[in-house]
Amino acid sequence: MSAHDPLLQPDPELHATARKVVTRIGADRAPAPNAIAIHDPHDGSTIGFTPDRDIDQALEAVTRADTAGRSWAATSPRYRADILRRWYDRIVDNADDIALLITLEMGKTLADARAEVAYGADFVRWYAEEITHQTGTVREAPSGGARLLTRRAPVGLAVLITPWNFPLAMATRKIAPALAAGCPAVVKPAALTPLTTLFAVQLAVEAGVPEDLVQVVTTSDASAFSAAVLSDPRVRKVSFTGSTPVGKILLRLAADNVLRTSMELGGNAPFLVFDDADLERAVEGAFVAKMRNGGQSCIAANRFLVQNGIAEAFVEGLTERLASLPTGSGLAPGVGLGPMVDHRAVHRLQGLVDDAVERGATLHTPDPAIDGPGSYFGATLLDHVPADAEVATTEIFGPIASVQRFSTQDEALAKANDTEFGLAGYVFTESLDRAFDVADNLATGILGINQGLPSNAAAPFGGIKESGLGREGSAEGLEEYQELRFYNLALRSTS
């Protein structure tokens, strides 16, 4: 087992261009009086600043958004669609710069950042199209004498709270349907990665979104923000993507004013490989499902459950892919794994590996520890992970592939469903009957069948059990920002 090669260093030209994007959005200098410094996970250097807003400023943002929202709600769907389409075009025109900024502040490889820009832009285009296709219903009152009509109206001011792992896509997945529906928004990005969201909203304003309609509030005190803003009666909706414990806090806060809520929470995705799977496809699917974003994804494969007959070959194939992964700055050419978002994450991941090895798991890859100022952690494969190891029960959120083996489908399903989470799952098999049998019995909101990357702007993304409430993307994601009203139209015969 060899030690890690030296870390790949950023391409100087790409790095300089990324820094220019920070200047372009005005984040290169610390604003007075309070600023949050943003760091490059590659070396810990400070790359920019955002204001650290207090409660009064957050409530001022609510006032501005609420005021701008009144005329926005009265615009036609076509008017909003045209502006959203122009926003999509602005994102596409600036795709390279956005990707560079994502990599600079979050660490993921530039290839992953580019994929995020395409995915994030897709939500804007999808909702620009979807909002022009709205329908209501007309029903007969069963006892006659009336028509019952339904219509969807904007829910009102939406508070949108996003995590650091997809700083563009998690923002557009919320802002686009909110705007399409006719709602104003107050967005709170993660303090670790606010620059991409600020850039995206700047592009929205350039595209014609009214200046005050989408307020971005950057703050280091997230709990003070949510306590103040969610108790303001002008707020009618909260949409959150992040961890399940924080989601539960927000649900409690939302209860006081009976807010509409959408919760995209944590995952613990099982990845099932059956003996009849296509090995090459399963290894490639596993690699993508595990390593996209350095494993820092809510739908990342968290528990590989592999049938005994294929397990040796699968472990060998995946180990080969992981052990040779070029690691270093996301801005380095040819890099396959960038840094983790911060040192706290690295420390947590090291603890998971140590605990698993202590309990009897086998480490197939080099020691994951990587010294230096950056928050690096090497790609890791653990085989024969005991069911009581922490890595087998917790959301890993990093590049650790944890493998357990099984003999029967029933055993695999029992293991897979033995979690409070239910966001994504994966199954690899060449049998259609087995694929559907597993699909119907696996308790997840999302399932990749012979597919390691199931997300799509046109599909309803979301979890069951403690992984969340509501859906994002697709027509269902628009309904999260609409309320259904019905009109009872009395009719009597005039003959």
Cβ-based neighbours of 460, under 8 Å, separated by 6 or more? 471, 472, 473, 474, 476, 477
User: CA distances (Å), 306 to each of 270, 302, 356, 392, 478, in order?
Assistant: 10, 13, 18, 14, 38
Of the residues 116, 264, 466, 480, which is catalytic?
Answer: 264
Q: Can residue 161 be called a binding residue for ligand NAD (CB under 6 A)?
A: yes
Interface segment toward ligand NAD; rule CB under 6 A; list 40-48, 97-105, 139-147, 237-245? 237-245
Q: What residues between 202 and 231 interact with ligand NAD by CB under 6 A?
A: 222-223, 225-226
Binding mask 353-392 toward ligand NAD (x if CB under 6 A, else -) reads ----------------------------------------
CB of 463 to ligand NAD, least distance (A): 6
Give CA–CA dist 180/446, Å, rounded: 25
- Please give the backbone phi and psi of residue 76, each rounded to the nearest 5 degrees, phi first: -80, 155
Q: Can residue 254 be called a binding residue for ligand NAD (CB under 6 A)?
A: no
Cβ-based neighbours of 428, under 8 Å, separated by 6 or more? 271, 272, 273, 274, 277, 278, 281, 282, 285, 450
Q: Can residue 123 be called a binding residue for ligand NAD (CB under 6 A)?
A: no
- Candidates 10, 167, 184, 266; binder of ligand NAD (CB under 6 A) is 266
Bridge partners (DSSP) listed for residue 152 = 484
Q: Can residue 285 be called a binding residue for ligand NAD (CB under 6 A)?
A: no
Give CA–CA dist 315/320, Å, rounded: 8
**How deeply is 284 buried, as exposed, middle or buried, from its count of CB atoms within 10 A (0-12, 13-18, 19+)?**
middle
Q: In this structure, are residues 454 and 233 in contact, taking their beta carbons and an 8 Å threshold?
A: no
- Candidates 57, 202, 243, 417; binder of ligand NAD (CB under 6 A) is 243
Interface segment toward ligand NAD; rule CB under 6 A; list 61-69, 150-158, 185-193, 371-379? 185-193
CB of 170 to ligand NAD, least distance (A): 6
Interface segment toward ligand NAD; rule CB under 6 A; list 10-18, 43-51, 52-60, 162-170? 162-170
Give CA–CA dist 364/362, Å, rounded: 6
Nearer to ligand NAD, 59 or 170 (CB): 170
Give the number of residues in contact with ligand NAD, rule: CB under 6 A.
28
- Candidates 51, 177, 210, 267; binder of ligand NAD (CB under 6 A) is 267
- Candidates 422, 468, 470, 477; binder of ligand NAD (CB under 6 A) is 468
The candidate with the shortest Cα–Cα distance to 228, out of 219, 153, 150, is 219
Of the residues 298, 466, 472, 480, which is catalytic?
Answer: 298
Return the residue nearest ligand NAD (CB atom): 242
- Candidates 249, 323, 443, 464; binder of ligand NAD (CB under 6 A) is 249
- Amino acid occupying residue 355: D
Look up 183 and say whether it is catalytic. Answer: no
Place of tokens 């296509």: 278
Interface segment toward ligand NAD; rule CB under 6 A; list 60-68, 242-250, 428-436, 481-489? 242-250
Give CA–CA dist 40/127, Å, rounded: 33
- Candidates 27, 81, 246, 457; binder of ligand NAD (CB under 6 A) is 246
User: CA distances (Å), 63 to each of 73, 96, 136, 234, 335, in order?
Assistant: 15, 34, 31, 8, 45
Q: In this structure, are residues 230 and 254 in contact, taking their beta carbons and an 8 Å threshold?
A: yes
| Strands (E) located in 17-137 | 35-39, 46-51
Q: What residues between 419 and 448 interact with ligand NAD by CB under 6 A?
A: 423
Look up 479 and say whether it is catalytic. Answer: no
- Candidates 214, 265, 291, 301; binder of ligand NAD (CB under 6 A) is 265
The candidate with the shortest Cα–Cα distance to 403, out of 380, 436, 428, is 380
Q: Can residue 298 be called a binding residue for ligand NAD (CB under 6 A)?
A: yes
Interface segment toward ligand NAD; rule CB under 6 A; list 101-109, 183-191, 317-325, 375-383? 183-191
CB of 246 to ligand NAD, least distance (A): 4
DSSP notation for 92-110: HHTHHHHHHHHHHHH---H
Q: Give the per-residue SS3 of 143-197.
A: CCCEEEEEEEEECCEEEEECCCCCCCHHHHHHHHHHHHHCCCEEEECCCCCCHHH
Q: How many helices (H) and strands (E) does the chain have?
A: 15, 18
CB of 291 to ligand NAD, least distance (A): 16
CB of 54 to ligand NAD, least distance (A): 15
CB of 455 to ligand NAD, least distance (A): 9
| Strands (E) located in 308-392 | 362-363, 380-383
- Residues in contact with ligand NAD by the rule CB under 6 A: 161-165, 170, 188, 190-191, 222-223, 225-226, 241-243, 246, 249-250, 264-267, 298, 395, 423, 463, 468
Kindly list the catalytic residues.
264, 298
